[in-house]
């Protein structure tokens, strides 16, 4: 009896293997590989552990990149990337190297392609993330951010693209409107499933802060050095945040009418609540950032109307946002490390006529 039971079990296993093999041949390769992957990993995600590969270079954001290589498979044959990337290293030591050149950043990131795009060469990523950076006159900060962000995202095995949204002209800066432009232009390129809205001067300090979207809009920069690595107040939404296209459209994007410094981040936080969503956050251990020290920019003076405007968000959010966005696209260039979008967003009086 015991013997015959054993035989049946063996027969059953053989049938299973044959079915698997057939599926594999039939082009279900990825799914089967994924299935085996689950067993292989033993189901234990090791998010809390420091990868042993790089113990000697702990904290160096470039430490694990040399482990990434291109197998001799065609792109459609690549397996899905594992749930947890094997290249994560945990905390990152942030130092700002003197005399850094963009060419050096290019050299250190050989798999990044034109327009600042990347796909893992060894597996198919299940995440497509665009990073949107509002910018004017902060070239030095941009260089440092690119130096850290590219390897950071590659360690997370993401399919990603980096967009710089450059405000043309000298009129007062408008961060939130630039982010709306970034959303619109990035979505024309690709069906991104997550957008990270990222200050140019914030460097992430832990690669377990994964740049993917959550069920609710995510505020990622919850522990910044400038606020003593604590959230300054509960509804705070400034710095780095992440929304899926659905979440973004549900709140009608960001406001277009905050000119100058301040207020727009709180308005965005209020929109999240008004459209019936909550704020999601990473753990404080992971959501850590260093802000590169800077003074006040010319052309981004404090917006004195911000407190008054914030009392009106409930009445204005449905009228002002993605549905009222107007701008003139001046250029879109595919640079080696990023896509540069230069845009005329006009002034508080509206768009200037073409000349
Ligand atoms: C805080 C928030 C920021 C935003 C701002 C108020 C943090 C870390 N960030 O930043 O998200 O809500 O307050 O508006 O608390 N920029 C330029 N050129 C300029 C001016 C601004 O590129 O001339 C961009 C750049 O990406 C910068 C961002 O706008 O990081 C925010 O401006 P900031 O860094 O001067 O303001 P800060 O640090 O008080
Ligand atoms: Mn700043």
194 CA to middle of ligand 2, Å?
A: 23
pLDDT at position 68 over 90: yes
Three-state SS sequence of the chain: CHHHHHHHHHHHHHHHHHHHHHHHHHHHHHHHHHHHHHHHHCCCCCCCCCCHHHHHHCCCCCCCHHHCCCCCCCHHHCCECCCCCCCCCCECCCCCCCCCCHHHHHHHCCCCECCCEECCCCCECCCEEEEEEEECCCHHHHHHHHHHHHHHHHHCCCEEEEEEEEECCCCCCCHHHHHHHHHHHHHHHCCCCEEEEECCCEEECECCCCCCCCCCCEECCCEEHHHCCECCCCCCCCCEEEECHHHHHHCCCCCCCCCCECCHHHHHHHHHHHCCCCCECCCCCCCEEEECCCCCCCCCCECCCHHHHHCCHHHHCCCCCHHHCCCEEEEEEECCCCEEEEEECCECCECCCCC
Nearest CA to ligand 1 atom 4: 238
Atom number in ligand 1 closest to CA 135: 22
pLDDT at position 144 over 90: yes
Query: What's the gap between Cα 274 and its chain centre?
Result: 24
Nearest CA to ligand 1 atom 30: 199
Atom number in ligand 1 closest to CA 260: 14
Percent of the chain scoring above 90 in pLDDT: 82
| 159 vs 64, more confident | 159
Average pLDDT, the chain: 90
Mutation choice for ligand 1 from 175, 176, 291, CB with most ligand atoms inside 8 A: 175
**Per-residue pLDDT at 353:** 66
Nearest CA to ligand 1 atom 13: 262
**Per-residue pLDDT at 352:** 74
* Ligand that lies nearest to the alpha carbon of residue 223, given by its number in the listed order: 1
Between strands 328-334 and 339-344, the pairing is: antiparallel
**Per-residue pLDDT at 18:** 63
Interval 149-182: pLDDT, tens:
999 999 999 999 999 999 999 999 999 999 999 9
**Per-residue pLDDT at 46:** 40
143 CA to middle of ligand 2, Å?
A: 15
Mutation choice for ligand 1 from 173, 199, 263, CB with most ligand atoms inside 8 A: 199
Mutation choice for ligand 1 from 142, 173, 238, CB with most ligand atoms inside 8 A: 238
294 CA to middle of ligand 2, Å?
A: 7
Atom number in ligand 1 closest to CA 238: 11
Interval 85-138: pLDDT, tens:
999 999 999 999 999 999 999 999 999 999 999 999 999 999 999 999 999 999
204 CA to middle of ligand 2, Å?
A: 13
Residue 231 in tokens: 């959230």
What pTM value is reported for the model?
0.87
Nearest CA to ligand 1 atom 27: 199
**Per-residue pLDDT at 11:** 75
* Ligand that lies nearest to the alpha carbon of residue 226, given by its number in the listed order: 1
Residues in the ligand 1 pocket, defined by CB under 6 Å: 133-138, 173, 175, 199-202, 224, 238-239, 261-262, 264-265, 291, 297, 299-300
* Ligand that lies nearest to the alpha carbon of residue 225, given by its number in the listed order: 1
Q: How far apart are the first and last CA of the chain?
A: 92
């Amino acid at each position: 009896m015991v013997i015959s039971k054993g035989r049946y079990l063996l027969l059953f296993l053989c049938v299973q293997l044959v079915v698997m093999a057939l599926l594999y041949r039939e082009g279900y390769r990825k799914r089967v590989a994924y299935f085996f992957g689950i067993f292989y990993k033993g189901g234990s995600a090791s998010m809390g552990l420091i990868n042993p590969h790089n113990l000697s270079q702990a904290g160096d954001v470039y430490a694990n990149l040399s482990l990434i290589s291109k197998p001799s498979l065609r792109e459609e044959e690549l397996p899905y990337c594992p749930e947890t990337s094997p290249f994560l290293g945990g905390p990152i030591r942030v130092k700002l190297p003197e005399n850094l050149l963009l060419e050096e950043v290019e050299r250190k990131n050989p798999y990044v392609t034109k327009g600042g795009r990347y796909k893992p060469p060894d597996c198919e990523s299940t995440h497509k993330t665009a990073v949107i950076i509002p910018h004017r006159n902060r070239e030095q900060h941009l260089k440092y951010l690119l130096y850290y962000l590219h390897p950071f995202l590659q360690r997370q095995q993401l399919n990603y693209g980096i967009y710089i949204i450059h405000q043309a002209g000298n009129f007062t800066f408008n961060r939130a409107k630039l982010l709306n432009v970034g959303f619109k232009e990035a979505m024309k390129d690709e069906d991104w499933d997550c957008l990270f809205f990222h200050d140019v001067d914030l460097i992430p300090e832990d690669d377990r802060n994964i740049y993917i979207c959550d069920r609710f809009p995510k505020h990622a920069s919850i522990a910044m050095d400038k606020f003593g690595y604590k959230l300054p107040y509960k509804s705070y939404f400034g710095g780095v945040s992440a929304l899926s296209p659905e979440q973004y459209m549900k709140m009608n994007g960001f406001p277009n009418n905050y000119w100058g410094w301040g207020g727009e981040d709180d308005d965005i936080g209020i929109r999240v609540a008004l459209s019936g969503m909550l704020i999601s956050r990473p753990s404080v251990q992971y959501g850590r950032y260093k802000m590169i020290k800077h003074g006040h920019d010319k052309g981004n003076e404090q917006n004195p109307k911000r407190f008054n405007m914030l009392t009106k968000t409930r009445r204005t959010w449905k009228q002002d946002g993605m549905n009222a966005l107007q701008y003139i696209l001046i250029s879109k260039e595919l640079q080696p490390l990023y896509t540069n979008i230069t845009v005329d967003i006009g002034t508080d009086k509206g768009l200037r006529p073409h000349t």
